[in-house]
Chains A and B, each alone.
Chain A
Amino acid sequence: MHIKVNGKPVELEYEMTLGEFVQDRALKGMFAIEKNLKIINKEDYSTELLQDGDSIEIVGFVGGG
């Protein structure tokens, strides 16, 4: 299954939810995820299934000032 992550092609070995993807990638820090140009609420990560051709954008927030 092929998806795009921040514009780059990524191959996923098996079907997974966005929550599993976040765990798999060990994403840390403050971030939000847009899937196919729609922001996914963090409460929905565990049910949001990634599908072939999906495009996700991970945007990191920084806390400095």
Chain B
Amino acid sequence: MNRYLKNNLSKEVQERLQSAKVLICGCGGLGSGVISNLAGLGIGTLGLCDFDKVEITNLNRQFIHKYENIGKFKTESAQEWIKSYNPDIKIKLFTEPVKEDMFKDFDIIADCTDNFKTKFQLNDFALNTGKALVHAGVQGEMGQIMSIIPHQTACLRCVLEEKPEETGILKNISPIVNTIAAIESLEVFKLISDKENALLNKVLFINFKDYSFKTIKFSKNPHCIC
């Protein structure tokens, strides 16, 4: 356990991390940061779900994917990084679109996807399976994070109406993407070790333009399907 000495956590908490199983949906911008942070913390089992391949345009912010892995599936590239960094971690690969059935072997789902359609889908899979979900989104200079304990705390549909998505290429720089990924990883850690202080029934919004952090409280919406 010397590897985790500087985590300076109690033996009980470090063991909880070791026995935790986290499914990371999306191994791109947010996913790369979440994978490296959770590997560092000592999460015992990581599930990796993505069907994209590594492209050169990913390399400005997705540091776990190496130049020589361009063209490889992101799941395989991420697995390679994890094995080289922390060979004790058990890995399960899902090189396909996310399915509800994948949730069953995991305790927590980290939403690292890059579109609202899939984010709402993950929310609904979490509601159906009862698995805790950490939602995050990042675009341009904005980002938000919230955690969801299905049927107990506000879900994504409680706070947002699903609408057709507007697309466009925005600034996508590594310090911003990786800051949101780091906080998303911290939320996974809190759900395992310190649930009372997690972002439950609240959303943290960060505007990197002026460094404003705002936490807004939400409650379960009585009109929501959850």
**B214 contacts chain A at the CB level, 8 A cutoff:** yes
Whether A57 and B29, one on each chain, are in contact in the complex, defined by CB atoms closer than 8 angstroms, is no
Number of interface residues of A (CB under 8 A): 18
B163 touches A60 (CB 8 A): no
The 8 A CB mask of B67-107 against A (1 = contact, 0 = none) is 00000000000000000000000000000000000000000
Q: Kindly state the interface size class of chain B when it binds its partner.
A: 35 or more
Chain A neighbourhood of B113, CB < 8 A? 65
Q: Which of B4-12, B186-194, B215-223 contacts A (4 or more CB under 8 A)?
A: B215-223
Set A32, A63, A65: member contacting B218, Cβ < 8 A: A32
Which residues of A from 19 to 65 have beta carbons under 8 Å from B? 28-32, 34, 39, 41-43, 57, 59-65
Interface residues of B in 167-208 (CB under 8 A from A): 170, 172, 203, 205
Task: Give the distance to chain A from B167, nearest Cβ to Cβ, in Å.
Answer: 9
- A28 CA to B165 CA, complexed, in Å: 10
Contact residue among B136, B137, B216, B219 (Cβ-Cβ distance under 8 Å from A34) = B216
**Could you tell me if A39 and B30 are in contact, using CB atoms closer than 8 angstroms?**
no
The verdict on B144 contacting chain A, using a C-beta distance below 8 Å, is yes
Q: Which residue of A lies closest to B135 (CB)?
A: A61
- Across the interface, B114 reaches (CB within 8 A) one of A28, A43, A57, A65, namely A65
